[in-house]
């Protein structure tokens, strides 16, 4: 019985160390359509301001960055002309770091939070094929 308890404890410690080591794990995306269709909201926007809400070194999981985004073009879902999006301050917690004044393709869910598992990239970094796929408004009801 002691061996079983020790084995279970070792397994639990190992699994917890994986979370600490790998922090943010994202599912693979095979193509542009997967990236586009797996989020509720997809849009082009420009970061107009960044507010770092560093609350306390004792509660790092509560530290948040808020991005004020001017919405330039909607592809999926609906947002107003301007929106505040939140993200973790830490990339190990799937936080996204954006730069003020940069024009991005952004993906989020209805909770309006950004995660590094989403497709959040400067528009200037997209390939011609990616831009073509996005601008033809992919049909997310079809199978890939």
> Whole-model pTM?
0.73
pLDDT at 71: 97
Rounded Cα distance, 9 and 118, in Å: 34
pLDDT at 9: 45
**Mean pLDDT for back-to-back runs of 10 residues, the chain (144 residues):** 57 44 69 76 95 67 86 91 92 90 93 89 91 74 48
Check whether domain 32-135 has CATH 2.40.50.120, yes or no = yes
Nearest to 133 by CA among 29, 36, 27, 30: 36
pLDDT at 20: 43
Contact 35, 107 (CB under 8 A): yes
pLDDT at 5: 56
pLDDT at 138: 64
pLDDT at 22: 52
Q: Where are the domains of the chain?
A: 32-135
List, as own/partner pairs, every contact residues 26-32 make where C-beta atoms lie below 8 angstroms and the sequence separation is at least 24, other chains included. Answer: 26/94, 26/116, 26/117, 27/117, 29/119, 30/144, 31/144, 32/129, 32/130, 32/133, 32/134, 32/138
């Amino acid at each position: 019985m002691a061996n079983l308890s020790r084995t279970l404890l070792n397994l639990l410690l190992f699994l917890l160390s994986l979370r600490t080591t790998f922090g943010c794990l994202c599912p693979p995306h095979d193509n542009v359509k997967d990236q586009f269709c797996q989020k509720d909201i997809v849009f082009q926007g420009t970061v107009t301001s960044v507010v770092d809400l560093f609350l306390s070194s004792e509660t790092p999981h509560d530290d948040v960055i808020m991005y004020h985004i001017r919405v330039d073009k909607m592809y999926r879902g609906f947002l107003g002309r301007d929106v505040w999006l939140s993200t973790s301050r830490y990339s190990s917690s799937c936080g996204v770091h954006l730069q003020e004044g940069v024009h991005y393709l952004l993906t989020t869910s209805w909770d309006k939070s950004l995660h590094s598992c989403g497709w959040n990239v400067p528009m200037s970094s997209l390939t011609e094929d990616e831009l073509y796929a996005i601008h033809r408004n992919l049909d997310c009801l079809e199978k890939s």
